[in-house]
Amino acid sequence: MTVDAEEMATAPLFAIAVAAELAGMHPQTLRQYDRIGLVCPSRTAGKSRRYSMRDVAQLREVARLGTEGISLEGIKRILELENEVASLRGRVRQLESALADELLRRPGRRVFAAAEDGGVTPLRSGTRTSRRTELVIWRPDGLE
């Protein structure tokens, strides 16, 4: 079983005291941020908070933005937008991968041949154009 980077970043690993120390904050600050929906950690069956590496990174970002004078409401909106962008980027990667897989599964879907009138005749994958076999004789006028 392989664990990808996304799973590692979102795995709920740290209790509140450890997360607070990693973020350089007081545990009560983390509780307040959770109450207002700024950084919401996972919960165990016993309802205790468990923070992931991504949560710790967001807490550090909250601290950085706070030192720049941005209000908690502004920080919350910034984090929401950043999370939405990350989610959309992930979705784009999924769609690109699905498209690439589909193109690999269907080789030759864009096969065509030139028609006699100069147009384009689409062909199904694995088919060939029909060849004409009749003989055409050209005779200039007056000669037989």
pLDDT, mean of residues 63-75: 95
Tell whether 125 is covered by a domain: no
Neighbouring residues of 27: CB distance < 8 A, sequence distance ≥ 6? 16, 17, 20
Any idea what the CATH number is for the domain that residue 78 is in? 1.10.1660.10
Q: Write down the residue that tokens 């979705």 correspond to.
A: 91
Cβ 123 vs Cβ 111: under 8 Å = yes
Q: Quick check: 117 pLDDT over 60? A: yes
Task: Report pTM.
Answer: 0.62
* Confidence tier at 23 by pLDDT (50, 70, 90): very high
Looking at residue 115, its amino acid is A
pLDDT, mean of residues 53-59: 94
Tell whether 88 is covered by a domain: yes
Tell whether 122 is covered by a domain: no
Output the six-digit token pair for 141: 């006028």
Domain that holds residue 43: 5-105
Cβ 74 vs Cβ 36: under 8 Å = no
Tell whether 95 is covered by a domain: yes
Q: Quick check: 86 pLDDT over 60? A: yes
* Confidence tier at 1 by pLDDT (50, 70, 90): low
How many structural domains comprise the chain? 1
